[in-house]
Structure 1
Amino acid sequence: MDLGRMLCFSVILRLLLLLYGEWQDSHMEVRYTDVDYLVFSDAAALVSAARSPFERSTYRYSPILAFLLVPNSIVHRSWGKLLFSAADLFVGVFIYRILKERCVPEKSRLWCVAAWLFNPFTFTIGTRGNCEPIVCAVVLWIIICLMNGKVFQAAFWYGLVVHFRIYPIIYALPFVIVLNTKNVGTSRKPILSQWAPLQNIPRERSSSKVSRASLLSHNISCAWVSLRTIITKDAVFFGFFSGSVFFTWTALFFHLYGWDFLNEALLYHLTRTDPRHNFSIYFYHIYLRHQQGFSVLEKLASFLPQLMVQLCLVLRFARDLPFCLLLQTVAFVSFNKVITAQYFVWFFCLLPLVLPWSRMKIKWKGLLCISIWMGSQVHWLMWAYLLEFKENV
């Protein structure tokens, strides 16, 4: 099977799921459509009526999303699902392109693309009406731009995606590091050998304590050199232009919608707590104390572990950009105050970029990991269903 056929099967699968979703919404107690999609649609209807999308309670996203979904009120209510599913397919294409740039064999590239396109988490996210595939597609496009030396495009899309969904701000430092002069060749394209996976370091050398210490010293030294050379023309331009794009969009929507936009779309995410549908390690504490409320200091304190882990990962793995972004995202989600199933898609789009260098085989260790992951999800969601729909616990 080539990429074209794989994409055709993916399109058919997603169209069937869209049709099934319409049936389930009409006949079953639990809707297939994500509740957030109803929020998006209501906000888009308000925008089409020349009103603020933030008149819809719980709409806490960029107004760009509401504008993109205006056809929900004009063409069909499933327009947004089609848009998100199309972005889902673009993610698969971008994964293929990145791995091709890194000289991964064709067969391995297709397996990695399949790991995204036929992952139950990913093909249901878009068809249920969640906007995360758009963010995933833009993040991968930024990587492609950086690989081809297109700093202007990378900076523009990075500023836009951080405005659209704030979490990619964690990628700022790795993106800037990869633009330093040591990683750029004469054609102004990052030298792909600089992105060679760190897992390729011979394992036999790390068996002794001396070799491990030497390896650690080497990694710290490389990280320190990267930080010392971070202030380059490309790095400064990337930071300035991406920041300008972010603040331009922010200023525009602040002018249109005022403090409602600033509080709901940006500031809210700094102090957000959620006692339901939450996989976070902070869940039980939040659940017990939600009625009493939390101080601003308590809400912000949870960012400290995230910040520490992010800095350590960047210092250790910035030389391998895709792997670094994957670890950053996993760590960010793991230590977040709120974790829902859609957050897993943030790192699922980056996982195929490192699979060709993984030593894990699908049989048996891979199947065991997948089974534990899925079993944990089902177990948690079963109790969530009993709590929120049946009120039995």
Structure 2
Amino acid sequence: MVWLFNPFTFTIGTRGNCEPIVCAMILWIIICLMNDWLLQAALWYGLVVHLRIYPIIYALPIILVLHPLHFQPGKKPALVDWSSRKSKSVQGSSYMRINGLQGIRIFLASIFTWRRLVFGIVSGSIFFILTGLCFYFYGWDFLDEALLYHLTRTDPRHNFSIYFYHIYLHFEQEFSSLEKLISFLPQFIVQLVLVFRFAYDLPFCFFVQTVAFVAFNKVITAQYFVWFFCLLPLILPWSNMNLKWKGLACIFLWMGAQSHWLMWAYLLEFRGKNVFIQLWMASLLFLASNTYVLINIIRNHAYCPVFNLLKHETSNKTTKYD
């Protein structure tokens, strides 16, 4: 119901874009990883990044979850018993304890594993082959519009982002490439923190990454909300938020901040009122509401890794990392 009867998804998803297809591909990648279908996951990941560049943010958590303590030759990855996730959070159980030189050696040796290399090579090859074909047919226009444009994009039109007013005021002054890239810094820092904290709870990591990516992006439109709505059904069963209180409060806060922004946008766009300051303040409020809701979701999530740890065998003894 969160997806099928969501007014955002069926309105945005039926207006001619491919967002539902991209969302379905991301969900299938999660299923493939959980079933140890590595090649299929890599193929679909290379394709989905080619279609929509934003799933590139999922590369690091995927690489981290392909840990040798989760995946070992001849051993099927053991999924955590999902029936127990609601009642028990095994927070932090997937992190290795590095003790002494032996532990450091094992940690360094585990960075480059054949699964990580295979996933990176296959998905990267698919992406570059498809991008190369499009470049062959369409030239530099394709690269500029599909990839490079997003690195230095500046949109003077009003949107949900807190950056829009600054861009609007200084649009006639050409921004340097450094200034355009610096605007990614808050987004980049937040992504790293979330990835290294929640990577092993992969569906939840994808969700919080996407919410944060959209909230701190230089350009935000309603279309972007579909990106994390598709992941919401995966995390709701493991949330301790009661719909009557915290959950309902978060819904009303997020919808209220968005409706407040839309009111000022309507006055600007359709009534011609000079309400840029009010609209920018509404963008700040919308960012604050997104941050508040995200923090509450994280605090009330029954976190645990997707996979159980396998035993790591070294020389003549077996070591298990808790």
Q: TM-score, normalised by structure 2?
A: 0.76
Q: 1:292 aligned to 2:180? A: no
Q: 1:201 aligns with which of 77, 89, 92?
A: 89
Matches of 2:55 and 2:213, distance apart in 1: 10
Residue of structure 1 aligned with 2:246, choices 360, 365, 370: 365
Secondary structure at the aligned position of 2:241 is classed as coil
Partner-residue secondary structure (3-state), 1:192: coil
| 1:232 and 2:113 matched | yes
Q: How does 1:203-352 map to 2 (within 5 A)?
A: 221=97, 229-352=110-233
Structure 2 residue corresponding to 1:159, chosen from 35, 46, 54: 46
CA–CA distance in structure 1, aligned partners of residues 96 and 68 of structure 2: 18
Deviations 1:252-295 (A, max 9, x none): 01111111111111100111111224111222212221232311
Please report how far the alpha carbon of residue 191 of structure 1 lies from its aligned counterpart in structure 2 after TM superposition.
Answer: 2.1
Q: Give me the whole-angstrom Cα distance separating, in 1, the residues matched to 2:205 and 2:273.
A: 43
Residue 119 (structure 1) aligned with residue 3 (structure 2): no
User: Is residue 2:263 matched to residue 1:375?
Assistant: no
Runs of at least 5 residues in structure 1 that lack an aligned partner in the other structure: 1-113, 203-214
Q: Distance in 1 between matches of 2:158 and 2:272?
A: 14
CA distance in 1, matches of 2:107, 2:195: 10
Which of 58, 73, 76 is matched with 1:171 structurally?
58
Which structure 2 residue ranges, 5 or more long, are not aligned? 99-103, 275-322
Per-residue Cα deviation, 1:351-382 (whole angstroms, up to 9, x for no partner): 21111110111112222221121122122122
Q: Specify whether residues 229 and 290 from structure 1 end up closer, same or farther in structure 2 by C-alpha distance, changes over 3 A only.
A: same
Name the counterpart of 2:30.
Answer: 143
Distance 1:165 1:221 in 2: 37
Whole-angstrom distance in 1 between the partners of 2:223 and 2:49:
17
Give yes or no for contact 2:86–2:237 (8 Å, CA) kept in 1.
no
In 2: Cα distance, 1:129 partner to 1:188 partner: 44
Give the conservation status (yes or no) of the 8 Å contact 1:177–1:226.
no
Identity between Structure 1 and Structure 2 (%): 67
Partner of 1:14: none
Q: Which residue of structure 1 aligns with residue 235 of structure 2? A: 354
Aligned residues: 267
Aligned-residue offset at 1:180: 2.1
Task: Give, in angstroms, the shift of residue 201 of structure 1.
Answer: 2.9
Local SS of the residue matching 1:182: coil
Aligned in 2, Cα 1:185/1:228: closer, same or farther, shift over 3 Å? closer
User: Could you tell me whether the CA contact under 8 Å between 1:180 and 1:229 is conserved in 2?
Assistant: yes
SS in structure 1 of the partner of residue 29 of structure 2? helix
Find the aligned partners of 1:227 and 1:376 in 2 and give their Cα distance.
46
Deviation at 1:334, TM superposition (A): 1.6
Q: Is contact 2:158–2:164 with CA below 8 Å preserved after alignment?
A: no
- Judging changes above 3 Å, is the alpha-carbon distance between structure 1 residues 356 and 293 closer, same or farther for their aligned structure 2 residues? same
Distance in structure 1 (CA, Å) of the matches to 2:75 and 2:135: 37
Distance 1:160 1:374, change over 3 A: same
C-alpha deviation, 1:128, in angstroms: 2.6
